[in-house]
Structure 1
Amino acid sequence: MEALFASAVGVLTAAGIFLILRRRTFPVILGLSLLTYAVNAFLFATGRLALNAPPVLNKYKEVAYTDPLPQALVLTAIVISFGMTAVIVMIALSAYLSSKTDHIDLPLAEEAGEDE
């Protein structure tokens, strides 16, 4: 189960980085979201991957338990990432409305008229 979970985090990270390197704003926003999901899954996995285990230690039974701190961190990270995604979408929307395109163009030195 750990290998499947680790490969899923790796695929999410790779897809997120691939989309961030695109030249349009919408794939960049999707890539940031995928990276956020990968980090959240990684944080969740730090609390031990155990099936049907309680998040607290029971003093009457010797059973495995999962750490509740990473779960709380993931919930906080989900809220923060939702807010940051909304901010990024609004910045991209304002850039689109001002330039009428969502293409990210970085002018080259010869196109901008600058001499090296």
Structure 2
Amino acid sequence: MKLRIRGNSVRLRLDRREIAALGLGDTVEERTEFGPSPEHTLRCTVVAREQDTPLAAAFTQNQIAIFIRQEDAATLVNTETVGVEAAQEIGDGRSLRLLLEKDFACLQDRVGEDDTHSFDNPSACSP
């Protein structure tokens, strides 16, 4: 899972294994440790569930939780659909933009990046 936060937007990129796990009803989780104890760990989870909106988010106890509608998780698994996007009202006329999408392999190799389980990049040249 790759997480990008910019202003009031949260963007997640999930690889093939993670998208497949969502389709099976499993929770996908990533952890980033900032120190030796659990209170210094940021957790990010993605859960497929029945809900009215395509995506929803919550933040509690150092955890970003993203909820995707079950039918949208199934669409990501079974079709070429790249992602799901939604805006969540957060009050005072503001909203949080949410985007969950398939992680495509980079077109150029990057040190430290492992694209083993990424989706084939549609912009890659065929041999």
Identify the TM-score tier after normalising by the shorter chain: under 0.3
Greater helix percent: which structure?
Answer: 1
TM-score (norm 1): 0.27
